[in-house]
Structure 1
Amino acid sequence: MSLVPHATELLFALGLGDQVVGVTHECDHPTEALERPHVTTDRLPPGLSAAEIDAAVRERTERGEAIYDLDAELLAELEPDLIVTQALCPVCAVSYDDVQAIAARMDPAPKVIALDPKTFGETINDIRTVSDATGAKEAAFVLIATIARRVEAVKSAVADAEPVPVAALEWLDPPFAAGHWTPQLIEMAGGFDVLGLPGESSEQVTWEMVRAAEPEVVVCMPCGYDLGRAHEEAEAYAAQLGALGARRVVAIDASGTFSRPGPRLVEALELMAHVLHPDRVPEAPSAALDVEGAAPAERT
């Protein structure tokens, strides 16, 4: 049972898809995951703006309430031997404490493991954690080696390039600077993050703070948004983004790249390198859309 999308992606990447008996309502990759029963639902109503989502999440988490519901009855019916979840972010998955409590009442009680990476290296270690719990050690070896080769290819391509100052915005209303693994990926891609700190939580900032950091490139990666929605969101804040004075503002598929610390983080790295150094990394596994409304503004 996978209770977080990046765990679902990892289980399938390790060739364990046929053993996955249930997933969350947000597990959409690979497409086979859509065929599994959904054991979670979203408590937040649809159609909320970025500001409304932020306010609703803050209100619920401050009251100690979850923003997802877990179908304990269905989970028990599916009889998993292993539940893979996370405890790092209350916005990303059902409560870890709730999962532990439900698992303890099941007979037999399944094993519960939490994947809570804060750095790129820890996401690689999660591959080993899951392989140890499932016996997929050979597949894990191949996956780690494949990721390592792709990482080295990017690092070699940008090795002597001038680092590009980058602001990675994980939310736009209010603006949040991306943390955790994102600053590391930016550095490996031939840039340096002017706001976020490696391994640290994402941090709320102001538009004035972003402008003062003088990014040359701004990457809009609203957490959990696909490319279309991220681009729409960025266009809605084009005035604020344009006032930053960056030479380029792009929107990316955050849900498919930076938001999920699973096997596709290497695709996030390749995409970032393409955005920052298209002459050295001419192709990327996914697209970045320029935010046309955020035309560069003169600095004062």
Structure 2
Amino acid sequence: MRIVSLVPSATELLFALGLDSEVIAVTHECDHPPAALALPKVTRDALPSGLSAGQIDAAVRARTQHGEAIYELDEQALQRLQPDLIVTQALCAVCAVSYEDVRAIADRIESRPRVISLDPHTLGEVLGDVRTLAEATGRRDAGVDLIADASARIDRVRLAVRGKQPLKVAALEWLDPVYVAGHWTPQLIEYAGGFDVLGLAGEPSERRDWDEVAAAEPDVVIVMPCGYDAPRAREEALAHAERLAALGAGEVVAVDASAYFSRPGPRLVDGLELMAHILHPDAVPSAPSEPLTVEL
């Protein structure tokens, strides 16, 4: 099978299912596992490089309001590749090529590839997508094993923090303007022994203002700008140090959202372990990555 992945989380899942030899192209943002970096790229940014967080938000708003895409798909490359399967998403217009564009292009490709859209809103739906993709690619047993392993790790974290006093958490997915994380992130916080004071499980990320965040009186603030790694997240936090300090939280940490929270793929379980380590390090003493403390 010849597979093109148009979503970084799908690329990670395809590799986790043992399909690396069948993935023939990916997006320009697919950076995990490292082997994905060597594959042909069939997308590119429509936004100019070097924009600040506020400029990115403004540019995204302007383009989406005019029905313009954030990413561009290389139709000629797809025509040459003649894939059998294209994996995409319609969950977030900011995260990938428009589903409608993908569907239209697929209809023009001679191989008439099947298009699968993975659009999870919760952690359970993320695991459901593992089953969907495993069935579509003939990797049912690998999918069963992947789900079983993820479920066991989730249960271990929940057991480790059982009985702990839940900490009030504000998960900030963007700082200029402020967005609070939604979808699966509030679940990760709950399973890790916390209580999300702003986000709602299964609902989209939502724009708020700094006064609303302060009124929620979080114990811990997790700075997780969508698509940024931990050092870049820490830079964003320091740029808004005065605002963050005014929240009165006991701890502010920056994390690698791109790896562990933004993408609905296998590494969300790593994100859960990281979140539990942040909130209850005595119960979960190790994590896949160390968060960066933000000194305000």
1:276 to 272, 279, 291: 279
Once the two structures are TM-superposed, the CA of residue 144 in structure 1 deviates from its matched residue by 0.6
What CA distance in whole angstroms lies between the structure 2 residues aligned with 1:175 and 1:216? 18
Which shows bigger deviation, 175-184 or 227-236?
Answer: 227-236
SS in structure 1 of the partner of residue 242 of structure 2: helix
- Once the two structures are superposed, residues 242-277 of structure 1 have per-residue CA deviations (whole angstroms, 9 ceiling, x without a partner) of 110000000000000100000000000000000000
TM-score between both structures, scaled by the size of structure 1: 0.97
Q: Secondary structure of 1:18's match?
A: helix
**What TM-score comes out, normalization by structure 2 length?**
0.98
Query: Secondary structure of 2:112's partner?
Result: coil
CA distance in 2, matches of 1:290, 1:45: 31
2:36 corresponding residue in structure 1: 33
Q: Residue in 1 aligned with 2:251?
A: 248
- Check conservation: 2:78, 2:109, Cα contact below 8 A: no
2:179 is matched with 176
Structure 2 residue aligned with 1:298: none
In 1, the alpha carbon distance for the partners of 2:141 and 2:80 equals: 31
Look up the match of 1:218: 221
Letter paired with 1:114: S
Question: What is the SS of the residue equivalent to 1:255?
Answer: helix
SS at match of 2:259: coil
CA distance in 1, matches of 2:248, 2:32: 36
Match of 1:120 in 2: 123
Deviations 1:163-217 (A, max 9, x none): 0000000000000010000000000000010000000010000100000000000
Match 1:265 to one of 263, 268, 273: 268
Q: Distance in 2 between matches of 1:78 and 1:29?
A: 22
Q: 1:203 aligns with which of 169, 184, 206?
A: 206
Shift of 1:223: 0.2
CA contact (8 A) 2:5 2:11 kept: yes
Shift of 1:162: 0.3
1:1-300 to structure 2, matched below 5 A, reads: 1-293=4-296
Cα displacement (A) at 1:108:
2.0
Q: CA deviation at 1:240?
A: 0.5
In structure 1, runs of 5+ residues without a counterpart are 294-300
SS for the counterpart of 1:9 is helix
1:235: how far off?
1.0
User: 2: distance between equivalents of 1:120 and 1:180?
Assistant: 8
The 2-side partners of 1:202 and 1:158 are apart by 26
Question: Residues of 2 paired with 1:214 and 1:228: CA distance?
Answer: 25
- The residue that corresponds to 1:296 in the other structure is none
Question: Aligned AA for 1:18?
Answer: S
Q: Distance in 1 between matches of 2:69 and 2:214?
A: 34
Task: Give the share of equivalent positions with the same residue, in percent.
Answer: 65
Unaligned runs of 5+ in 2: none
